[in-house]
Structure 1
Amino acid sequence: MSEASIVFRTKDMFSTEKIYIDNMEKAAMWASIYRNASYFVDVINRHDEVAYRWENGAPDWKLGEVIPAALHVESYRFERHDDLSWEPQNRLWALIEAVTFAFDTAVGRATEYDFEGMFLRTEQPGNDDVWDLIVEANQVAREAAKLQSAVSWADLIDNWMNDSTRLFNAYALEQTALDMYTYEQEPFAFPNDIHDNIPKLMIEITELKSQRKNLP
């Protein structure tokens, strides 16, 4: 069971869906890294309460309750004027491709067409790091293929996606943070359906589990 989730919100409370994380302290650290992604960055506990909140890049909780390390984490650089190859939108679309392809790889349905799309995105400067995620997804796919139980199979994939020590969780959070950041800059520049890309994958696990139950 996940201990926490992170939600990014605009000042008028438009928000992303929850990104689940299995460790509250790591969730606080991630929120600190992405504290400038949106006006509010909330860490939600398992009771659906806001445990920690960053507001306009500043901690909005009593210092006595803060996880000290979270106050000293360097924030993500959404704008990099010293890097001519850096474009937030370019990185965002590469992450969308990578996270989706990684999921499809882990559940055993990635195609050659999907691979080509992924390859085109990673050819652009600064995006080749996401191949480490695909290596991880292949490892998960091999583990999943050994499981006879549909429930165990779904639990393995779900736990992988929420595991704060694995790359999927890290890249899913980076994607969601960049999504909200670019939306804040240009609210009408991106279609609404990318805001819930990760939660849709979580829902697909349930659908795929049901299909596996019906296999002979």
Structure 2
Amino acid sequence: MLSKKFVGVTLAVGMLAFTSGAAVAALSGSSAFFGGGLTAAKIGNMSYWESSTVSANGYATYASDARNDWQGISNADVDYSNASSESTATIRSYAGNYGLDYAGRIVPYSGGREASTNSTWDMVQIILNDYYMDSYGYSNANRHKTTIHEFGHSLGLVHQDSATDSVMKQGLYTYTNPTSLDVSNIQWKY
């Protein structure tokens, strides 16, 4: 009798795990993006400035790869150009010691003030936290993925569920390029 109850519990747990996994869907179309962001016109002509801290902390190649990856998506108008100065750049990137709260993040601005993800942005700061990544043993591939991920946020992409195949899911993953899901979302919007 005890073994039958044990089998029943095991099956129930297995069914719950299957049901919750089946409910996860990749975000696409408008649900893959913040409610606000940079306008399509700005995405098609983004001026980019990079702090010397990006190179000093070893992220220059990752940042260059990220720009090339997002800009290289066919049938999408994503374009980066070099800004003449930090103050004129639409996208500004930094790397350094920002504590242990995050590996990377973006800070959007509108009218010179921090903006919500549901408003229209004028400028976005990309912040790569080398201290966090060092502290948690990020590999080169993990750092590369984090950089591409943050550039994806600057384009308005939200986090994808961990069950999806996307550079936009959070965590220690080794994606070094946007996936087909990421590409199709960028093509849909831009």
State the TM-score, normalizing by the size of structure 1.
0.26
State the TM-score, normalizing by the size of structure 2.
0.28
Please identify the structure whose Cα radius of gyration is greater. 2
Q: Which has the higher helix share?
A: 1
